[in-house]
Amino acid sequence: MKNAAFTLKGYRFPKALIDLTNIRAENNEFKMDLLPTGKFIAATHEFELKFSFIAKLNNSDVPAIAIDCEGRFEFADTIAFEDIPDYFYPNSIAIIFPYVRAFVSTLSLQANYRPIIIPTMNLSDLSESLHQHVVIE
C-alpha cells in the first residue's frame, strides 16, 4: 500500500466571533461565505490552509458568526510548490470542512441557541479559489 501524499498535521481556530443578538426563535436564515487561502512554506514543505467561515443573519451586513480555521498539512516527500498535485486543493478543503462545521454547531449550541448547522456542501468550486490565493514563503 502506498503512503498518502500529504497528511493533516493539525488545526486550530484562532478567531471565533459570535453575535446572535438579532436572532429570533424562528425564521433564521443565514447567508454563508467560505473563503479559503493558503501559504506554502518552502523550507519545511508544509502547506497552511486558512479557512474563513462567515454567516450573516437574514441578509444583515454584520456577521452573526465568523470563524477562522488554520490547518497545517505535511507532504510525504520533499516537494516544490509547482509539484503540489491538483487533487491536494479540493481534498485539503474537504478534510478541514468537517471541523469547521462541528465548531460552528458547537459554538451556537454552547451559547444556548439552536445549533447552526452548516449544510453538506459541494466544495469543489473552492479549490480553484484556494489555488489562486496561495502565497509562497
Mind listing the pLDDT tens digit for each residue in 7-62? 999 999 999 998 888 777 666 778 888 999 999 998 998 999 999 999 888 778 88
How large is the angle between the packed helices 88-110 and 124-132, nearest 10 degrees?
110
What is the count of structural domains for the chain?
A: 1
Residue 1 lies in a domain: no
- If we measure between CA atoms, which residue out of 32, 74, 29 comes closest to residue 49? 74
Q: Which CATH number goes with the domain that contains 38?
A: 3.10.420.10
Nearest-angstrom CA–CA distance, 67 and 17: 6
Range of the domain at 14: 6-80+88-136
pLDDT, residue 26, reads 65
3-state secondary structure of 93: helix
Q: Residue 24 belongs to what H/E stretch?
A: none
Q: Which residues pair with 43 in a beta bridge?
A: none
